[in-house]
Structure 1
Amino acid sequence: MPKAIWNGSVIAEAPDDAVEIVEGNVYFPMHAVREDLLQPSDNTSSCYWKGRANYYHVVVDGKVNQDAAWTYRTPSDAAQRIAGHVAFWHGVEVER
């Protein structure tokens, strides 16, 4: 069961069949993510084939990991399978 962990807390956990792996990143369905540990960020980026990514800061025990999670709120047609999913980086450990 894949998990995302940062600062000693599990941020996301989902069964293997609920996650999507795209370009080596594990995308967790939003319902499997502890949204109470996410704060919206103003940061965005653009991927030529997935569309526009929106970021979140991960906050655990008062520590902030800026822009450590992202989602494609309205992904391109080619990336529809990651709609409603969140991926992590910046030191968030993802166990598969």
Structure 2
Amino acid sequence: MKAVWNGVVVAESDKTVVIEGNHYFPPESLKREHTTFSNHRSGCAWKGQAHYLSLFVNGEMNPDAVWFYPEPTEAAAEIKGHYAFWKGVQIQS
């Protein structure tokens, strides 16, 4: 699977975890040179608190386009530290 935004692959792995239709990419698959800090947080009743990163690709910013659970609940332990995408990021096989 590939996560693509603004014509660039920002994550790639054949070992994603799919939950609620979202592919969660393992930590080593994220191309960190395309990410930047975000203060945004949100909560999920069964997964815990999500933290976000923004994407910066080809001179364009996509704020809060990446989310992850650094300390998920026990029910969502398999996605600890994995990254998911939204806000126009295309997931391709």
TM-score, normalised on structure 2?
0.97
Match of 1:70 in 2: 67
Among 73, 83, 90, the residue aligned to 2:80: 83
Match of 1:31 in 2: 28
Find the aligned partners of 1:57 and 1:32 in 2 and give their Cα distance: 16
Find the aligned partners of 1:67 and 1:22 in 2 and give their Cα distance: 19
Provide the secondary structure at the position in 1 that maps to 2:51.
Answer: strand
2:87 matched to 1:93? no
- CA deviation vs aligned residue, 1:47-77 (integer Å, no higher than 9, x gap): 0000000001011011000100000000000
Residues matched between the structures, number:
93
Write the letter of the residue equivalent to 1:5: V
Percentage of pairs with the same residue: 43
Q: Which runs of 4+ in 1 moved over 2 A?
A: none
Find the aligned partners of 1:20 and 1:75 in 2 and give their Cα distance: 14
TM-score, normalised on structure 1?
0.94
Write the letter of the residue equivalent to 2:4: I
Structure 2 gaps, min length 5: none
Give 1:36 shift: 1.1
Match of 1:14 in 2: 13
